[in-house]
Amino acid sequence: MINKKVFSDTKNRLIKINILVVSSFLIIFSMFTFLYFRNITYNSIDRKLEEEYEYISMQINKTSYLNPIMLNDPRDLVYIYKGDRLIYYTKSEYFDNIVPQEVNNNNLFFTYKSGNYTFREFSLSIDNTRIRVIRNIDSELFSLKQLLSVISIGIAFSIVITYFIALYLTKKALKPVEDAWNTQAKFIQDASHELRTPITIVSSKLQSLLTVPQNTINDEIETIADAMNETRRLRKMIKDLLSLSKEDAVIKLNIEKINIKDILSELYRDYIDISEMQNKKLQLVINTKNNIIYSDKIKLRQLILIFLDNAFKYTKDNDSIKIGLEEKDNKIICFIEDSGIGISEKDLNHIFDRFFRSDNIRNQDIDGSGIGLSIAKMISINLNCKLIVKSKLNEGSRFEIIIPREINKK
Ligand SMILES: Nc1ncnc2c1ncn2[C@@H]1O[C@H](COP(=O)(O)OP(=O)(O)OP(=O)(O)O)[C@@H](O)[C@H]1O
Ligand SMILES: [Mg+2]
């Protein structure tokens, strides 16, 4: 499936980026650490060589072959020249008693290799006397090498750990996106499935008209009415789908001071005639003192209307419908109650799902597409409201909208 590939590609890309960023930081940091320690090591060797040089220069005039030069550090090798003549040198196992080769170099300090050994030399001539102080620095280099291997192992280990952490975090971060994507895909599948039914009916009705070209409109009035009913259903469904997708998106609320009692009274006036026509008893029950809230008036009205519409749809002759207000914990409870067909316990958990309709309602041929309550759910989330349903099959239903006095601005 396309989305599976998109997600696995994105996951891999994110993991790669994570590893790249972490490894670059680690490598740069380790490089600086290594260079810093290398610098410190060389500086300390050079300081010791210098000290040795000072110590030797102090002794140089008093020295005879019977009185050998004392060294600060017995590891140091010293070669003293008068002009071109070597006048003193320490015995060295490294050079097999051969004077180490001269390095033509203008630097005071320099490093060179002789055989398998590495040396650091400090060489300075003053008044025809040249002193070379040489030290084997293999142990220091060995420590630096060890530091380098520890750092390299550390980097490799950290990259492996980073890979697993990145894998976990990327999965976690992409989960909501993946879920939203799947919900959207399911929604499109369900919507197209639901839209197909009325379209099939309309096209089959039209086709049936083609088979009887001699008939008048009057003869086929029922078929035409059926087709028109379906187009009306189709139009309502498309309108509902649109409003659902609008609620789903980030919406801007128009918050204002509202008297909620006014909204209910208005709805009551709008529906009282319909209730009389349908032989139903509509009641308005206001049990609140303070009816002022701050919310989005149009959306709140739309929300209440969805429940009121259902109450009329799912009640029969002589049933009663009550709309009203109650107050609890500084919150307003707007309720819509009916003595209609009710909802079974099994269905109660699903009524807010998109396109859900109880089986008994589908069988009774009551118009609707099961989108109303999912729009209600979205609006209530946006308005910070809570929805509560109590219902018993064949006894009636009560829907409560718990409305905060003020919408929390996030
Ligand atoms: N007051 C009620 N009494 C009994 N059943 C109800 C009531 N309100 C909702 N239902 C059940 O919940 C289902 C979903 O309701 P919803 O309003 O989402 O869809 P609908 O009314 O079928 O279609 P529409 O999208 O046109 O509103 C209904 O089909 C019905 O089975
Ligand atoms: Mg409905």
Report the CATH number at residue 289.
Answer: 3.30.565.10
Give dist(CA 153, CA 160) in Å, integer: 11
DSSP 8-class letter at 368: -
Count other C-beta atoms under 10 Å from residue 226's C-beta.
15
Within this chain, do residues 136 and 257 fall inside the same structural domain, yes or no?
no
CA of 313 to the centre of ligand 2 (A): 8
Any idea what the Cα angle at residue 119 is, between residues 115 and 120, rounded to 5°?
160
DSSP 8-class letter at 254: -
CA of 178 to the centre of ligand 1 (A): 29
Mutation to probe ligand 1, out of 236, 310, 314, 397 (largest number of atoms < 8 A from CB): 310
Both tokens assigned to 102: 């001269």
Confidence band (pLDDT; 50, 70, 90) for 97?
low
The per-residue pLDDT for range 24-73, each reduced to its tens digit, is 999 999 999 999 999 999 999 999 999 999 998 888 766 555 567 788 88
CA of 328 to the centre of ligand 2 (A): 27
Range of the domain at 390: 253-404
The set of residues, in sequence order, having a beta carbon less than 8 Å from that of 45 and lying 6+ positions away, is: 120, 135, 137, 140
373 lines ligand 1 (CB under 6 A): yes
Domain boundary among 122, 142, 162: 142
CA of 199 to the centre of ligand 2 (A): 21
236 found inside a domain: no
Specify the higher pLDDT residue, 221 or 103. 221
Instruction: Using the atom order of ligand 1, give the atom closest to the CA of residue 370.
Output: 19
Give the phi and the psi of residue 132 in degrees, each rounded to 5. -110, 120
For residue 37, give the H/E element and its range: helix 2-59
Mutation to probe ligand 1, out of 280, 335, 373 (largest number of atoms < 8 A from CB): 373
Within this chain, do residues 267 and 393 fall inside the same structural domain, yes or no?
yes
Res 107: pLDDT? 74
User: In one letter, which amino acid is 391?
Assistant: S
Across 35-185, where does the E strand assignment appear? 77-82, 85-89, 109-114, 117-126, 129-136
Res 361: pLDDT? 82
Both tokens assigned to 358: 């109880």
Domain boundary among 142, 165, 190: 142
Within this chain, do residues 135 and 268 fall inside the same structural domain, yes or no?
no
338 lines ligand 1 (CB under 6 A): yes
To which residue do tokens 């349908």 refer? 278
Domain boundary among 142, 158, 191: 142
The per-residue pLDDT for range 130-177, each reduced to its tens digit, is 899 999 999 999 999 999 999 999 999 999 999 999 999 999 999 998
To which residue do tokens 């790669």 refer? 16
CA-only gyration radius of the chain, Å: 45
Number of domains in the chain: 2
The per-residue pLDDT for range 308-326, each reduced to its tens digit, is 999 999 999 999 999 999 9
Mean pLDDT of 113-120: 86
Instruction: Using the atom order of ligand 1, give the atom closest to the CA of residue 340.
Output: 3
Most trustworthy range by pLDDT among 96-105, 192-201, 390-399: 390-399
62 found inside a domain: yes
pTM: 0.64
Both tokens assigned to 390: 């109590």
Count other C-beta atoms under 10 Å from residue 68's C-beta.
13
11 found inside a domain: yes
Confidence band (pLDDT; 50, 70, 90) for 100?
confident
**pLDDT, mean over the chain:** 89
Res 104: pLDDT? 66
Mutation to probe ligand 1, out of 352, 357, 359 (largest number of atoms < 8 A from CB): 357
| Chain centroid offset of residue 370 CA | 32
Least confident of 34-48, 103-117, 226-240: 103-117
Mean pLDDT of 169-196: 87
Mean pLDDT of 106-126: 86
Give dist(CA 350, CA 310) in Å, integer: 15
Mean pLDDT of 70-82: 86
For residue 400, give the H/E element and its range: strand 396-404
Within this chain, do residues 138 and 257 fall inside the same structural domain, yes or no?
no
CA of 383 to the centre of ligand 1 (A): 21
197 found inside a domain: no
Q: How far is CA 146 from CA 118, 141, 156, in A?
A: 16, 9, 15
Q: 389 burial class (0-12, 13-18, 19+ CB within 10 angstroms)?
A: middle
Within this chain, do residues 259 and 391 fall inside the same structural domain, yes or no?
yes
CA of 206 to the centre of ligand 2 (A): 28
**Nearest protein Cα to ligand 1, atom 29:** 357
Mean pLDDT of 105-109: 76
332 lines ligand 1 (CB under 6 A): no
Give dist(CA 155, CA 24) in Å, integer: 10
Both tokens assigned to 290: 């303070």
8 found inside a domain: yes
Does the structure show a pLDDT above 60 at 409? no
CA of 308 to the centre of ligand 2 (A): 9
Res 105: pLDDT? 64
Mean pLDDT of 209-215: 93
Res 368: pLDDT? 86
367 found inside a domain: yes
194 lines ligand 1 (CB under 6 A): no
396 lines ligand 1 (CB under 6 A): no
153 found inside a domain: no
342 lines ligand 1 (CB under 6 A): yes
397 lines ligand 1 (CB under 6 A): yes
The answer to whether residues 284 and 264 touch, using CB atoms and an 8 Å cutoff, is yes
Mean pLDDT of 318-337: 96
CA of 261 to the centre of ligand 2 (A): 23
**Ligand located closest to 191 CA:** 1
